[in-house]
Amino acid sequence: MDEHGEEPVSQQALQLLSTREAAAQLGIHPTTLTRAVHRGLIRPARVTPGGFLRFTQAELDHFLAQRLNNLADRSGRTGAT
């Protein structure tokens, strides 16, 4: 903890990525990322006063992990209930 009683935040956690940068890292189009935000699949860390979305690397990693888990769940199904 620092002198204000707060946990130190890593430099990486403070770095915010634009929609274009985040989409490039995810391998998707920026419009697809914006749609995912509107559907509640990923949350931006910040929305600027101009309405631009900003994302953390941690949120992108979490989103990718969720998507991979969903794909694994789907491929593991046999179709029988």
pLDDT for residue 3: 59
Q: What would the two tokens of residue 78 be?
A: 């046999």
Rounded percentage of the chain residues whose pLDDT exceeds 70: 78
Q: Domain-by-domain residue ranges, the chain?
A: 12-75
Q: pTM value?
A: 0.72
- Cα separation, 16 vs 29, in Å, equals 18
- DSSP conformational letter for 29: -
CATH of region 12-75, choose from 1.10.1660.10, 3.30.420.40, 3.40.462.20, 1.10.10.10: 1.10.1660.10
Residue-averaged pLDDT of the chain: 86
